[in-house]
Amino acid sequence: MTALARPTHGRMIGGVCAALARRFGTSATTMRVIFLLSCLLPGPQFLLYIALWILLPSEDKVHATSW
């Protein structure tokens, strides 16, 4: 598994679904569909997305500080 960071390429809004897809080895489209379907259920999906957007570092910042 790779580190959990928002990618700089291939992201739509914040890159959260793309980061989760890369982490769990699935496609970003599949993760986006899962997220959209989960929005039909009651719960804090949007708040979780926003929290992950804020908390997950961007991929370019992770590579810049890891050398």
Number of domains in the chain: 1
Asked whether residue 62 is domain-assigned, the answer is no
pLDDT at 66: 55
Tens digit of each residue's pLDDT (9 = 90 or more) over 8-17: 888 888 899 9
Residue 63: per-residue pLDDT = 63
49 within some domain: yes
Does any domain span residue 5? no
Looking from the CA of 24 toward its CB, the CA atoms found within 13 Å total: 11
Structural domain including 33 reads: 15-55
In this predicted structure, what is the pLDDT of residue 8?
85
Q: What is the pLDDT of residues 16-54, one digit of tens each?
A: 999 999 999 999 999 999 999 999 999 999 999 999 999
Q: Is residue 35 part of a domain?
A: yes
Residue 66 lies in a domain: no
Q: Is residue 50 part of a domain?
A: yes
Predicted TM-score (pTM) of the model is 0.78
Structural domain includes residue 61: no
Domain assignment present for residue 33? The answer is yes
